[in-house]
Amino acid sequence: MKPAQIELFFQTLQAANPHPKTELEYGSDFQLLAAVLLSAQATDVSVNKATRGLFAAAPTPQAMLKLGLAGLESHIKTIGLYRSKAKHLMQTCQLLVDLHGGVVPQDREALEALPGVGRKTANVVLNTAFGQPTMAVDTHIFRVGNRTGLAKGTTPLQVELKLLKRVPKPYLQHAHHWLILHGRYVCTARQPKCWDCAVASCCSFKPKAALN
């Protein structure tokens, strides 16, 4: 994808959705961190169903610690890998209280030092909570980056670094959300909806039907 195509690509996505946001439901930086931690290998829909009750009962790390591991597990047992996620979340709550006064840190190193928080989760929090121009490469962004020719790579980190280099600065803040939503609803895994894609003219992918 050439620079002019990249510009048009994001210009088009911005025009269609000027203020994109995560589909995870949260009411604070801590709740965002918890929701993203719980969302690994799970859908936002399933996480939201579980966290509505959880955040009502335990809206802060202090309250979640009081809830206890068994109490936390009872709220999130419908989410995949809930036992390990509950353990990590409880450990994260303890560290937030002990090291950060119950406040979510705003730097990558401190975030990635929390149990269950990897680079992708840290990027989501840094971008969504603190407005930093990070790129959280999930399966959707990895697919869109490779399929469109926007940022090809064999690992999420390769795609992330290429996106940070290739996405024009005016679009960096929201690019993460535009790409996720595009991959989730249009550039889908099994059958991309090229016939209904507003940025098809910028894309290097050619659907099979077009090759016959």
**Which residues participate in catalysis according to the annotation?**
120, 138
User: Phi-psi category of 189—alpha, beta or left, where left has phi over 0 and alpha has psi -120 to 50?
Assistant: alpha
Comparing C-alpha atoms, which of 15, 158, 101 is closest to residue 150? Answer: 158
What are the distances in angstroms from CA 28 to CA 25, 32, 60, 64, 157? Answer: 10, 6, 9, 14, 28
12: Cα separation from own chain's centroid:
21
Matching residue, tokens 């121009």: 133
Task: Name the token pair of 6.
Answer: 């990249």
From the list 113, 114, 135, 115, the residue with the least C-alpha distance to 124 is 135
